[in-house]
Structure formats: C-alpha cells, structure tokens
Amino acid sequence: MDEQDPGLTYAAAMLDYGEHDMEEQLERLHSRWGSPDVPTLMRMHHEAEGNDRLFALFALGCRRIPQARDYLASLMESSDVAERQACRIALAHAGDKRAVQPLMELLGEFLPGEPPYDDWREQLASFLESWQADIPGLLGRLGDPVAAPALRRALQATIAVTGSYSFNPEAILFRGEIVDFDNMTAQDNELLTVASELQVLLGYQDGLVYALGQLGAVGALTGVAPAHPERATDRARTLALWTVHLLMGYLHERYPVVEEQWWQDLPELRADLDHFLERLYGLDLETRNAYLQLYEREKLLQIGNRSRSERMAREYGWYG
C-alpha cells in the first residue's frame, strides 16, 4: 500500500502508528489485501481482525465517494464501541453532515473521572483521548448550528467533572519530584494519573469552546461557571481565556491559519477580536487589553500548533 496515499496516512495516524511502524503496517496490509480501493477496504473491514478493521474504516473516510460514505453511515450505530466511534469520526472527516447527530451523542461520553472511562480506555488504549478530542473540532468544521446546544451541555458536563478534582493539576504536573519517574511513590503515580486526566479535560473544554465559536454561538458562555468556584480569580481568568478562544473560533473562517504567537504579528486579527469583545460583550478598553494579553501569553502558541496541524491535514488531503 502506498504510504503517500492520504487515506492511508490518515488511518495510520488515527491508530497512532509511528513513521517506521507505518511502513511496516502498510506493507503488511498490502501483502494481505492488495490495492486499497473502496471494495477492498470494505472487505478488509468485514474479514480482518483487531485494528485492521478500524484502519479500513478511517481509510474509507478519505475515499470521498458516495459508496464509501454510505458504508460508514450504515455502521454509525454499531454495537462495537470502537467501530461506532471510528465510523462517526471518519464520516465527519469526509465532510458528511450525517455524522453531526451521532457525534453530538458522543460529546459527553467516556470522560475521565466517570465510570465508563476506564473500561473504554482499556479497550482502545491510547486512541481514547485523541479520538474524543477530535469530536468538537469536527462538529465545528461541519458547521451545523444544531450542534451548539450539545457542545454547551458537554462543556457544562466537563466543568462538573473538573470540579471533582481538588488540586491544581499544573502544580502536580510540573513539580520536579513528580517528573522523576524512577523515584515516584504509589501516591505520586496516582496524583500524576489524575492530573493527566484533568489536563485531558481542560484541553477538551478548549475544543468545545472553540467549536461553539465556529458555530456562531457567541453567547454560549453566558451563565457558565468554570470549576473551582471558591477561587474567584481562577474562575475569572478561565472565563477571560474562553471568551477570546470562542471569538477565535467565531473568526476561524476569516483567519483559518494562525501560526504566529504574538499579537504584533497579527494586527488585523487582534483588531477584530478587540472589536467583537467590545461589540458583543461590552468590555471596556482596559479589560479588552487584559483579556488579549492573557490569551497571548497562555493560548496563542497552542493555536499556532493547531493551525499547523490543520494545514498539514489539508495538504495531505485528510479532510473531505
């Protein structure tokens, strides 16, 4: 199989194949199944085992013909959790809006800290976090405003889960003695696991907020109270970051690629953000400047990394 085939590289990436592992896996699949056309990939899904079946589904999502999309749509209610998730995500990557409602149903599932998380994680190993993290962005790209209420409900659900953690994850993640894996105690391991779960949730919340902006839900944060209500400063800081992040999503079509990390290199974007912070939320100049400075310091570099990843995905042809 051709490792330069966009559908195959996308499928391999979704299954966390590394560069060398990708070559071996594609060669193995080519020897077993032959040319990866749509009928072959459908047969692979039926007859293969394990991750090869999921590989076939993700590759079908990049074939961009009705036969492939219809096949994925027919499996979106599969009783197999991995197959169900893979089909919905692959169909969304293909740009098919039939994936909107099924993806909405997944928004609040399998979150760290909730009972189903450990069982599902055991089934899908490292795929869990990356697949679940994709869902808000896919809904944002599909552009159907019907998803906005579900995104907001998912944000509220993650806030409730986040509030169950009674410590600062950053303090734990970056304490020197915790990073010393050779000398970690059982308690350290437990703290690091919980802190890692919380970091996943915080990143997921960012994705939900950005997607709400992409769908034009500029009032979605009204009445939203981030976790740690006993710490008003942290709550206000999070709301400030989310407000700018939501507007970044709102302006995504106008600024799809933002790879710089300083406002001085993005004067037009900064001016637009400043305009909407005043127009939509009535913020005064001092508050607007404070919001934008905070976002530059804490989020703009992450946006740059996201933009680079999306640009590469478009160049590789991963998006329909």
Q: What is the pLDDT of residues 174-227, one digit of tens each?
A: 444 445 556 667 766 666 666 777 777 888 899 999 999 999 999 999 999 887
Place of tokens 């899904």: 45
DSSP 197-263: HHHHHHHHHHHHHHHHHHTT-TTTTTT---S-TT-HHHHHHHHHHHHHHHHHHHTTTT-S-----SG
| Mean pLDDT confidence for 225-239 | 74
Cβ 109 vs Cβ 135: under 8 Å: no
Q: Distance between CA 320 and CA 138 in Å, rounded?
A: 11
| CA–CA distance, 89 with 142 (Å, rounded to integer) | 11
Q: Model pTM?
A: 0.85
Residue 133: what pLDDT? 85
CA dihedral angle for residue 236, residue 250, residue 312, residue 202, rounded to 10 degrees: 20
Question: What's phi and psi for 262, nearest 5 deg?
Answer: -135, 140
| Residue 268 vs residues 255, 265, 273: alpha-carbon distances, Å | 10, 9, 9
Q: Tell me what the mean pLDDT of segment 66-77 comes to.
A: 95
Residue 73 has pLDDT above 80, yes or no: yes
| 271 or 108: which leads in pLDDT | 271
d(C-alpha 190, C-alpha 181), whole Å: 12
Q: Which residue has the higher pLDDT, 1 or 73?
A: 73
Helix (H, G, I), strand (E, B) or coil at 193: helix
